[in-house]
Amino acid sequence: MAAPKHPRPCSVADTLALVGEKYSLLVLREVCLGNGRFDQLVRNIGAPRDILATRLRRLVDAGILTKRVYSERPQRFEYRATLAGLELEPVLMTLMAWGDRHLHPDGDRPMVIEHSCGKDLAPVVTCAACGDPVRHEDLTAHPQAPGWTVTGPQAT
Amino acid sequence: MAAPKHPRPCSVADTLALVGEKYSLLVLREVCLGNGRFDQLVRNIGAPRDILATRLRRLVDAGILTKRVYSERPQRFEYRATLAGLELEPVLMTLMAWGDRHLHPDGDRPMVIEHSCGKDLAPVVTCAACGDPVRHEDLTAHPQAPGWTVTGPQAT
DNA sequence: ATGGTGAGTTCGGTTTTCCTACTCACTGGT
DNA sequence: ACCAGTGAGTAGGAAAACCGAACTCACCAT
């Protein structure tokens, strides 16, 4: 068995290569909340301005954000999520749910999301085919690239 | 309105503070796949060994992984996900789904996950209360800390 | 005795990140 | 006209993170 020179090909890694840098997902959070202006982002995220500028360029290049002018004189911009960007919102929701559950067990959630059904949102990841919630023990991974194996799902 | 010195309190940020560093979520991916040994992780993730060692310590400290001995002599270890760690799997699934969709639009997915229902897993984030898939326009955010506002969800 | 594996640590250098300050263009108030 | 304020960044240097390769140490196999 040859030692692989490259890491496992994987969409998780590919996606994280785009949005896995520090602050990138927080930028997306703010943009989804409607706070898409540079100084709002600086304040709400707490990122250094130069880093934020770099992240914004990267996210725009990746097609996750767009930069649109909302005032010509003086020229002012607003970043908004593209469709692809909005489709990352579920990632934010699952991250938030985990943090609420494990980092704020007293119920002192920093933010509550209300769903259109009237209830507070508790996001659950389900299988599109059968509708059941996804549990670890129900999953079997099949790497598509040759040479990459899994030793089987972790037993609890 | 006072200028906030601290960034917005948010479970997304809190969670990313634990697992948002480079490689952390990939470690979790490998561990969930059953590849929890140090050299497997190095090979499959492609991380430098020292960085990996740091990440592993951090994840163990955070209660996301445990380090267990699988051989006394010679002493050998394996990292496994705790229950809290397994609950981060939905994050991986949504990240993977996004990458499959937007970074591999030809259908050449690097990995396919099979669900126990027999179909390939297509993870969908739904509202636990009503069961509907979560869409951006159905969400309203309510920050709980005083002084933190949202300008309303981004309109498409 | 030699080679191999597993699980790291150490070393030295490169790249990122961080923080503070600064710029530049404009606006609104007096 | 003058001044403070806002929005969107750049500039510079220190601190931290990251990287690959080499090294350790304990054990096992031949």
Q: Transcribe B4-38 into DSSP letters.
A: PSSPPP-HHHHHHHHH-STTHHHHHHHHHHT--SH
Give the confidence band of B5 by pLDDT, cuts at 50, 70, 90.
Answer: low
**Chain segment A44-54, per-residue pLDDT in tens:** 999 998 999 99
Select the highest-mean-pLDDT range: A47-56, A66-75, A113-122. A113-122
Give the confidence band of A57 by pLDDT, cuts at 50, 70, 90.
Answer: very high
Q: Is the pLDDT of residue B2 over 70?
A: no
What percent of chain B shows pLDDT beyond 90?
82
Per-residue confidence (pLDDT) for residue A73, from 0 to 100 = 73
Distance, angstroms, CA B54 to C1' D18? 12
Alpha-carbon gap, residue B11 to A95, rounded angstroms = 7
Q: What is the residue type of A23?
A: Y
User: Is the shortest CB-to-strand distance from B69 to strand D under 7 Å?
Assistant: no
B36 at A interface, C-beta within 8 A: yes
Distance, angstroms, CA B84 to C1' D12? 43
Which positions on strand D lie below 7 Å from a protein C-beta? Answer: 6-12, 17-22, 26-28
Q: Is the pLDDT of residue A1 over 50?
A: no
Nearest CA in chain A to B150: A33
Per-residue confidence (pLDDT) for residue B97, from 0 to 100 = 97
How high does pLDDT run on average in chain A? 92
Q: What number of CA atoms fall less than 13 Å from residue A11's CA on the CB side?
A: 25
Per-residue confidence (pLDDT) for residue B4, from 0 to 100 = 59
Per-residue confidence (pLDDT) for residue A4, from 0 to 100 = 64
User: Is the shortest CB-to-strand distance from A22 to strand C under 7 Å?
Assistant: yes
**Chain segment B16-48, per-residue pLDDT in tens:** 999 999 999 999 999 999 999 999 999 999 999
Give which of A90, A118, A86 is closest to B12, Cα–Cα: A90
Per-residue confidence (pLDDT) for residue B63, from 0 to 100 = 96
Give the confidence band of B1 by pLDDT, cuts at 50, 70, 90.
Answer: very low
Alpha helices by DSSP H, listed for chain A, are 11-19, 24-33, 38-45, 49-61, 83-86, 89-103
Distance, angstroms, CA A46 to C1' C17? 13
pTM: 0.93
- On whether the CB atoms of residues A88 and A19 are closer than 8 A, the answer is yes
Q: Is the pLDDT of residue B73 over 90?
A: no
* Chain B residues near residue A47 by CB distance under 8 angstroms: 7
**Chain segment B80-96, per-residue pLDDT in tens:** 999 999 999 999 999 99
Distance, angstroms, CA A1 to C1' D30? 21
Cβ neighbours for B65, distance < 8 A, ≥ 6 positions apart: B27, B28, B31, B56, B59, B79, B80, B81, B82, B85
What percent of chain A shows pLDDT beyond 90?
78
CB contact under 8 A, A114 and B139: yes
Q: Is the pLDDT of residue A5 over 80?
A: no
User: Is the shortest CB-to-strand distance from A76 to strand C under 7 Å?
Assistant: no
User: Is the shortest CB-to-strand distance from A69 to strand C under 7 Å?
Assistant: no
Q: How far is B72 from chain A (nearest CA, A)?
A: 21
Per-residue confidence (pLDDT) for residue B154, from 0 to 100 = 79
